[in-house]
Structure 1
């Protein structure tokens, strides 16, 4: 049995995986959706990026999970990628869902050369948080009006320190067994950093014809990919 640990990106909590978790469990696996510190029901908890790494590692160790597939979406790819090397032989695979990936000494905003000033200004102007997107920002991402409303209504401001603190890696990320899911409506090609990692024999690319939030727009297809990447070839219910 695989144990999936699912971590959503900025502004989101464990609720983002509500349509994916039941499909993974119906296939006979464990599924653990996490809310990172400072978000959703954990609003008010102080959080830096290292806090989020520890959130993920603690969830694996506290529950004594084995055969773990870590799943990081968007921003969460950065703490998830770091947590993956810290859980040792508990890890089966890490899956990056249209996500940023960690680079030693680099932060989330480091990967945004054109948007870094905008993000940092937004954090400075809101008391240390990155405000959630507005409904219009989700256009063209394969989401229904109802799905957009759900995301916007439930999103919470994201702790700014998690976006500006640098990542720490003790080994090349390309050595980890990994899958990168590229959501094509959010850009047809992976970023240069991801493209370089995909040259590793340990990494593989899967394309998904939807937008940046596939847990909402195509949860069944996302669950199928996760099961396949974990080595489960049986069809999802």
Structure 2
């Protein structure tokens, strides 16, 4: 039996996986959706990036999980990638869902595609938090109006410290067994750092014809990819 630990991206909590978790459990596996510190029902808890890494490690150890597939979506690929090497032989595989990946010494902000200064200014102007998306930000991502309303309505401000703190890796990320899911409506090609990792014999690419939030737009298809990844 595989134990899936699911971590959604910025602004989101465990609730984001509500349509995926039952499908994994119905297939006979464990599924544990995790809210990171400072988000959703854990708002008000101070959180840097290493806090989020520890959140994930603590969940695995608290539940004494083995044969773990860690799933990181969007921002959460950064703490999930670090947690993956810290749980040692408990790890079966990492699945990155249209996500950022950690680079030692680099932060989410430092790799921001529009430039770090713009994101830093946005966070500073919002009291140290990254403001949640608007409905307009979700256009063109394969979502219904109802799904967009769920994402926007459930999102909470994201702690800026977790975005500015650098990642800490003790070995090359390409050595971990990993599946990278690229959501094509959010860009046809993986980022350069992901493309380099995909040259590793331990990594494989899966494409989805949907947008950046497949747990909402295509939950059944996403669950199937997770199950396939666990069977490798």
Task: Classify the secondary structure of the residue corresponding to 2:51.
Answer: helix
Deviations 1:135-192 (A, max 9, x none): 0110000000000001101100000000010000000000000000000000000000
How far has the Cα of 1:130 moved from its partner?
A: 0.2
Moved over 4 A (4+): none
How far did 1:69 drift? 0.0
Distance 1:145 1:135 in 2: 9
Aligned equivalent of 2:46? 46
In 2, distance between residues paired with 1:116 and 1:223?
Answer: 33
Q: Give the 5 Å matches for 1:33-182.
A: 33-182=33-182
CA distance in 1, matches of 2:97, 2:195: 14
Distance 1:99 1:71 in 2: 10
CA shift at 1:113, angstroms?
4.5
Q: Aligned Cα RMSD in Å?
A: 0.8
In structure 2, distance between residues paired with 1:128 and 1:216: 28
Q: How many residues align?
A: 232
In structure 2, C-alpha distance between the alignment counterparts of 1:152 and 1:209, rounded to whole Å: 22
C-alpha displacement at 1:122, in angstroms? 1.2
Secondary structure of 2:188's match? coil
User: What secondary structure is seen at the aligned counterpart in 2 of 1:181?
Assistant: strand
CA drift at 1:111: 1.3
Matched residues in 2 for 1:143 and 1:119: separation? 25
Q: Which runs of 5+ in 2 are unaligned?
A: none
Which stretches in structure 1 are left out of the alignment for 5+ residues? 233-237
Aligned to 2:11: 11
For residues 144 and 111 of structure 2, the distance between their equivalents in structure 1, rounded to whole angstroms, comes to: 29
Secondary structure of the residue that 1:89 maps to in structure 2? helix
Normalising by the residue count of structure 1, what TM-score does the alignment of the two structures yield?
0.97
Aligned equivalents of 2:45 and 2:87: distance in 1? Answer: 24
Of 169-178 and 104-113, deviating more is 104-113
What SS does the corresponding residue of 2:207 show, helix, strand or coil? strand
Give the CA deviation at 1:119: 1.4
1:115 deviates by: 3.5
Name the structure 1 match of 2:196: 196
Deviations 1:85-144 (CA, angstroms, capped at 9, x unpaired) = 000000000000000000000000111152322211111011110000110110000000
Distance (Å, rounded) in 2 between the aligned partners of 1:145 and 1:116 = 31
